[in-house]
Amino acid sequence: MSIVLIRVDDRLIHGQVAVGWTRFVGGTHIVVADDEVAKDNTQIMLLKMATPVGVKSTVLSVTEAARKLAGGKFAGDKVIVIVRGPQALLGLMEGGVPLGKVNVGNVRMQEGRRRLTKEVAASPEELQAWKKLDEAGVELEALWLPGGQATNLNEVIRAIE
């Protein structure tokens, strides 16, 4: 198993991931790590329907995803890991998944969140999680579409008091 992309996107599997990113990185298996969705059979079914033909998808809790990813469960696959936010990334990292570089795509602006980039917003708790990831040496790149203009999210986070 090789992890070819770790992406933060609050929409999880959707057209941009299913078509753009999967093709761009040659992904053969999408692993969604999300505690809420892992308990919702309807959401799991919808995510599987959004998965491109010829690509596998698995929806797991963050803990289970970390266990399986760190344990090499998806041998032979080019894995795309998708989470909704930075807390899930911390859970994966704490579970032994090497993060290295993370693509941060879309985390929508909502009440109680501040805008970090055009496509990325964070609550105070999420901002603390981003800072922990930065301090752990995770490379955070805000990039919406393959081939687009990337923003160094580490620098953005470091500039926030």
Active site residues: 14
CA–CA separation, 160 and 77 (whole Å):
38
Give the pair of three-digit tokens for residue 118.
Answer: 């055009």
The values of phi and psi at residue 55, to 5°, are -115, 135
Q: Any idea which residue has 């959401």 for tokens?
A: 43
Would you say 89 and 137 are in contact if contact means Cβ atoms under 8 Å apart? no
